[in-house]
Amino acid sequence: MADGSAPARKPRVDAAARRAEYIDVAAKVMLEKGLHGATMRDFAEAAGAAKILFYRLFPSRDAIVDAVFRRVEDAVLDAYKETWTGYGSMVARVLETARKDPAPFLVVLKNCGGGADRSDWGDRLRAIFNERSRPLFEPRPGAPEGAEERAGLAGGSLFGLWVDRMIVWLEERDGLDDATRIRWWSRIVREWRLASREAFRLDPPQQETNEETP
């Protein structure tokens, strides 16, 4: 330059931020066009970026689809790592997180087990749900033989309803506010626990309990 000063440098692109942005864009496109209908070209056009930029961060369409799922899986894991503070508390945290970035959640929840190539999505989310629910179904001494296996079955019995309700809540289709939704859910979980412990024979015969904490 004529004045001897160095040319201005372009700001460095934050690869992690760009990756996160592309995941958000891809999830919105998948929600609009369907998980299997959206293409890398669609993602690039929606982001206003060259297709090659997507391939630099995601070597294939499957890679970005998997990244959308991992965004949701990590968010659910983080929410469920928090201390249990009462019925409905864990789902409340997941919903709060999903509200900030609903598109990935809606894509994943609407496609749990929906198609052979994504059949593990539901299994992986169910495993998280089961693990966190397991303390509610710990067999008590004297429970009939096979109680450990039955406890695992009991812990996952509400997963389908959880998926369905999260979709409805994120799409605001039930006319309720979030505080009412979580109160409703907490009552369901409380009754679900009591009914499931009885149905799956997790207590000694004729034993009754009023405990409400895992």
Q: What CATH number does the domain containing 104 carry?
A: 1.10.357.10
Mean pLDDT of 23-43: 92
Q: Is residue 67 part of a domain?
A: yes
**Are 90 and 84 within 8 A, CB to CB?**
yes
- Weakest-pLDDT range from 23-37, 60-74, 110-124, 177-191: 110-124
Q: Is residue 8 part of a domain?
A: no
Q: Is residue 211 part of a domain?
A: no
Give me the domain span that covers residue 113.
15-199
The pLDDT of residue 130: 87
Instruction: Count CB atoms within 10 A of the CB of residue 21.
Output: 14
Domains in the chain, number: 1
Q: Is residue 139 part of a domain?
A: yes
> Which SS3 state, helix, strand or coil, does residue 14 take?
coil
Q: Is residue 95 part of a domain?
A: yes
Percent share of the chain, pLDDT over 90 = 55
* Helix pair 147-155, 178-199: axis angle to 10 deg: 160
Q: Is residue 206 part of a domain?
A: no
Q: Using 50, 70 and 90 to split pLDDT, how confident is the model at 191?
A: very high
Q: Is residue 2 part of a domain?
A: no
The pLDDT of residue 133: 87
Burial class (CB in 10 A: 0-12, 13-18, 19+), 36: middle
Mean pLDDT of the chain: 86
Has this prediction a pTM greater than 0.85? no
Q: Using 50, 70 and 90 to split pLDDT, how confident is the model at 36?
A: confident
Q: Is residue 77 part of a domain?
A: yes
Q: Using 50, 70 and 90 to split pLDDT, how confident is the model at 13?
A: low
Rounded CA separation 50/41 (Å)? 9
